[in-house]
């Protein structure tokens, strides 16, 4: 029989070597008991299997950031909540690199299949997600366009209404939080990471803003006080640190998919603009007939004289279409 001293020495040796005679099942049970006690104390507890997974990742996130992300994981799992993260910064500051590292830290299944470059693709993906997924919208430099900004903010409003009960981690990878929908910044974003550098070649740094233990919501304060001049100087960030350059997916494949996404968006914008001009033309034709008393033949002749021929039958169809849109009830009464 082993003496008490021998048992103590054995435990010390096990701690140093990481080896133990305890069955693996018993170790797991003991850890689960410890985790249960920690949860009862209101502390964030991440399952041991998940802790082991992230320890084996090929990159390391800053400790303070990992603590925040672990809190999001716990809230998604135990409180059935979704988490919203904004990663912003000038092009080349590493926001895509950082957001992808976060994606892999949050979800084992994360890959380029969970990254979307157009508002339509992002919203469509939200309808097919599983609980615990991490979905990234990568604006791919589209915010330089006013029409793109409008489309993105419409997408954000839709997305916020869809994620309430999905237990997701949503990451918006954009140029600046100040370009985004006001409600997202003021009441829905859980974390803002602003990537920056002191020069064009300096990158790999970020400022973190969130609602801390002191009760101050620094994202809200930043949006209110900084939006006018796109300034990130006030309030002071919760913390600032650095991150590695490790790109967790194929850069070549990422660039390829990004270009496809940009092309789709630009094509869609042109088509939308074309539809807008056609609608404006149709309304002008309708007004000319209704309010100015021009006949369909008069309009056809004037358009031909101006070098924009349009036959009478097409003009007639335009008038009928606008009539139906503006007076649907009258149309139904005429049918009877």
Q: How many whole angstroms separate alpha carbon 21 and alpha carbon 40?
A: 29
CATH superfamily of 50-249: P-loop containing nucleotide triphosphate hydrolases (3.40.50.300)
Q: How many whole angstroms separate alpha carbon 229 and alpha carbon 232?
A: 9
Q: What is the pLDDT of residues 59-103, one digit of tens each?
A: 999 999 999 999 999 999 888 899 999 999 998 899 999 999 999
Domain residue limits, the chain: 50-249, 273-335
Structure-block tokens of residue 57: 């990742």
Distance of CA 61 to the CA centre of its chain: 20
Q: What is the pLDDT of residues 245-284, one digit of tens each?
A: 999 999 999 999 999 888 887 776 555 555 666 777 777 8
pLDDT of residue 32: 54
Q: How many whole angstroms separate alpha carbon 83 and alpha carbon 308?
A: 54
Q: Is the pTM of this model over 0.85?
A: no
CA distances from 67 to 44, 46, 64, 74, 272 (A): 9, 10, 5, 11, 44
Mean pLDDT confidence for 134-151: 72
């Amino acid at each position: 029989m082993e003496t008490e001293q021998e048992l103590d020495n054995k435990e010390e040796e096990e701690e140093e070597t990481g080896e133990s005679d305890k069955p693996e099942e018993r170790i797991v049970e003991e850890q689960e008991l410890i985790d249960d006690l920690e949860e009862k104390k209101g502390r964030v507890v991440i399952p041991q299997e998940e802790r082991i997974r992230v320890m084996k990742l090929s990159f390391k996130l800053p400790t303070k950031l990992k603590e925040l992300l672990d809190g999001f994981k716990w809230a998604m799992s135990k409180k059935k909540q979704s988490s919203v993260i904004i990663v912003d910064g000038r092009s080349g500051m590493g926001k895509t690199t950082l957001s992808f590292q976060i994606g892999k830290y949050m979800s084992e299944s994360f890959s380029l299949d969970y990254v979307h470059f157009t508002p339509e693709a992002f919203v469509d993906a939200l309808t097919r997600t599983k609980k615990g997924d991490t979905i990234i919208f990568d604006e791919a430099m589209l915010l330089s366009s006013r029409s793109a900004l409008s489309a993105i903010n419409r997408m954000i409003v839709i997305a916020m209404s869809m994620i309430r009960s999905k237990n997701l981690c949503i990451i918006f990878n954009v140029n600046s939080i100040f370009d985004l929908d006001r409600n997202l910044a003021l009441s829905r974003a859980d974390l803002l990471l602003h990537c920056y550098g002191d020069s064009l070649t300096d990158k790999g740094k970020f400022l973190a803003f969130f609602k801390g233990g002191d009760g101050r919501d620094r994202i809200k304060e930043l949006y209110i006080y900084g939006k006018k001049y796109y300034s990130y100087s006030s309030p002071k960030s919760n913390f600032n640190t650095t991150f590695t350059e490790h790109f967790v997916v194929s850069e070549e494949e990422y660039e390829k998919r990004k270009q496809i996404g940009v092309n789709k968006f630009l094509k869609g914008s042109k088509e939308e603009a074309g539809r807008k001009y056609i609608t404006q033309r149709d309304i002008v034709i309708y007004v000319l007939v209704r309010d100015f008393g021009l006949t369909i033949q008069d309009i056809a002749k004037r358009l031909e004289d101006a070098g924009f021929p349009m036959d009478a039958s097409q003009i007639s169809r335009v008038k009928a279409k606008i009539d139906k849109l503006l007076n649907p009830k009258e149309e139904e009464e005429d049918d009877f």
